[in-house]
């Protein structure tokens, strides 16, 4: 049995709810979260959003694995949405319209319709997704972000433990990135479980992310939700401080483009061997020792510490929420039960 087949079987077994073994499987329900169903129609719709424009048809095993991973994400999102509902944190119509208009702003009507078509999505479906995303964001702000605080002592301790890293032998640029790659990769684990699998998908996705970043959305959150770089997505795409000489060695044209950007500005999509990148210049620093008295140093440290705590607390929060929810994954049950019959 191949490694992929083993992974599919293991994933299915892991996802099966114990209660599913003792009850009849509803024919149209892929999973249940508490008393709410996720239907196969819902799963297929989400699959079309993410993988509908694939040029190459996946094998049966690839399709099963993709759907299992996608359903896992849908279950997690449903758990969070129900918690938001319980705490009266659902996004209002005004919230949804404001975000919708923000997304439309960079495009003409025709261009925006093409963006929707690329995602196999209608306006109403987009608004429904925005309501869910905004509601979950409100939940995270209340139950995660509001609980994070950084003391002056923590900032000072971090600086003293990492003082050498605040000495710059040459001018440096603090960069963050969003990366999109044009091939399937089960190791990509952004918060939305979103992965391009073809060059066309990757190009459309990166253009949409560029528009959202230029429209004012938080770059770090976009990276956490959608970036396909497993090494930087979790920390908001932060690449740290990079010396000008390193940029020059990597690509002189890249250096020229990065150095032309001002702090806070975002680059257009850059085609690289790996796929597409969007870079954001967070700051530019001259050579020399950066002292703790520098407000930018303090803020940089606070941002790093906040991001660390946010990632930790978010992971804990997801686990606690899963523990408190009653989840039955009927699709995983079906895959597992049929495995020996292949």
Least confident range from 117-121, 236-240, 273-277: namely: 117-121
Phi-psi bin for 261: left (phi > 0), alpha (psi -120 to 50), beta?
beta
Strands 288-289 and 36-39: unpaired
24-39 pLDDT, tens digit per residue, is 667 899 999 999 999 9
pTM over 0.75: no
pLDDT for 254 beyond 70: yes
User: Mean of the pLDDT values across residues 173-196?
Assistant: 84
Closest alpha carbon to 227 in 273, 185, 258, 260? 185
Helices (H), the chain: 3-15, 40-51, 60-86, 93-104, 109-118, 123-143, 152-161, 199-214, 219-226, 244-250, 252-260, 295-324, 330-337
Instruction: Quote the tokens at residue 261.
Output: 């950007």
Per DSSP, what are the bridge partners of residue 179? 277
CB 284 within 8 A of CB 174: yes
In this prediction, residue 55 carries a pLDDT of: 61
Cα separation, 139 vs 321, in Å, equals 12
For residue 52, how many other CB atoms are within 10 A of its CB?
Answer: 15
Cα separation, 239 vs 29, in Å, equals 42
Strands 172-180 and 167-168: unpaired
Instruction: Quote the tokens at residue 94.
Output: 């005004």
In this prediction, residue 9 carries a pLDDT of: 54
Per DSSP, what are the bridge partners of residue 281? 175
141-168 pLDDT, tens digit per residue, is 999 999 999 999 999 999 999 999 888 8
Per DSSP, what are the bridge partners of residue 271? 276
Closest alpha carbon to 32 in 340, 330, 290? 330
pLDDT for 20 beyond 60: no
Cα separation, 218 vs 171, in Å, equals 26
In this prediction, residue 187 carries a pLDDT of: 72
Mind listing the domains of the chain with CATH numbers? Answer: 3-143+318-341 (1.10.4030.10), 170-286 (3.10.50.40)
Q: What is the mean pLDDT of the chain?
A: 86
Q: Across the chain, which distance is largest between two alpha carbons, in Å?
A: 68
In this prediction, residue 135 carries a pLDDT of: 96
In this prediction, residue 158 carries a pLDDT of: 97
pLDDT for 115 beyond 90: no
pLDDT band at 106 (very low <50, low <70, confident <90, very high): low
pLDDT band at 22 (very low <50, low <70, confident <90, very high): very low
In this prediction, residue 52 carries a pLDDT of: 67
Cα separation, 256 vs 79, in Å, equals 46
CB 201 within 8 A of CB 54: yes
Least confident range from 68-77, 114-123, 233-242, 297-306: namely: 114-123
CB 287 within 8 A of CB 243: no
190 or 91: which carries more pLDDT confidence? 91
For residue 175, how many other CB atoms are within 10 A of its CB?
Answer: 23
pLDDT for 21 beyond 50: no
Instruction: Quote the tokens at residue 2.
Output: 């191949």
46-91 pLDDT, tens digit per residue, is 888 877 666 677 888 889 999 999 999 999 999 999 999 999 999 9
Query: Residue 239: phi, psi to the nearest 5?
Result: -95, -5
194-219 pLDDT, tens digit per residue, is 888 888 889 999 999 998 898 888 99
Q: In what order do the strands lie in the sheet with 327-329?
A: 36-39, 29-33, 327-329
Q: Which residue has the tokens 């424009």?
A: 53
pLDDT for 137 beyond 60: yes
């Amino acid at each position: 049995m191949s490694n992929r087949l083993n992974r599919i079987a293991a994933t299915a077994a892991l996802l099966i709810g114990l209660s599913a073994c003792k009850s009849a499987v509803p024919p149209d329900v892929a999973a249940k979260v508490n008393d709410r169903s996720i239907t196969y129609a819902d799963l297929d719709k989400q699959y079309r959003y993410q993988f509908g424009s694939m040029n190459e048809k996946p094998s049966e095993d690839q399709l099963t694995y993709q759907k299992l991973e996608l359903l896992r994400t849908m279950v997690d999102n449903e758990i969070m949405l129900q918690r938001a509902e319980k705490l009266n944190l659902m996004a209002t119509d005004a919230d949804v319209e404001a975000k919708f208009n923000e997304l439309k702003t960079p495009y003409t009507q025709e261009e925006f319709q093409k963006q929707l078509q690329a995602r196999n999505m209608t306006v109403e479906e987009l608004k429904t997704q925005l309501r869910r995303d905004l509601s979950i964001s409100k939940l995270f702000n209340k139950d995660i972000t509001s609980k994070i605080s950084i003391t002056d002592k923590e900032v000072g301790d971090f600086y003293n433990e990492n003082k050498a890293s605040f000495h710059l032998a040459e001018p440096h640029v603090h960069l963050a990135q969003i990366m999109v790659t044009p091939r399937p990769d089960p190791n990509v684990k952004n918060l939305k479980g979103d992965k391009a699998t073809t060059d066309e998908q990757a190009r459309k996705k990166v253009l949409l992310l560029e528009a959202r970043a230029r429209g004012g959305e938080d770059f770090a959150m976009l990276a956490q939700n959608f970036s396909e770089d497993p090494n930087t997505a979790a920390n908001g795409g932060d690449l740290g401080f990079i010396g000008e000489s390193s940029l020059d060695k990597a690509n002189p044209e890249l250096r020229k483009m990065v150095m032309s950007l001002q702090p806070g500005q975002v680059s257009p999509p850059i085609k690289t061997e790996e796929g597409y990148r969007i870079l954001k210049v967070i700051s530019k620093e001259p050579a020399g020792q950066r002292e703790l008295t520098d407000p930018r140093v303090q803020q940089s440290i606070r941002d790093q510490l906040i991001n660390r705590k946010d990632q930790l607390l978010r992971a804990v929060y997801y686990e606690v929420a899963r523990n408190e929810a009653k989840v039955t994954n009927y699709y995983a049950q079906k895959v597992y039960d049929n495995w020996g019959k292949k």
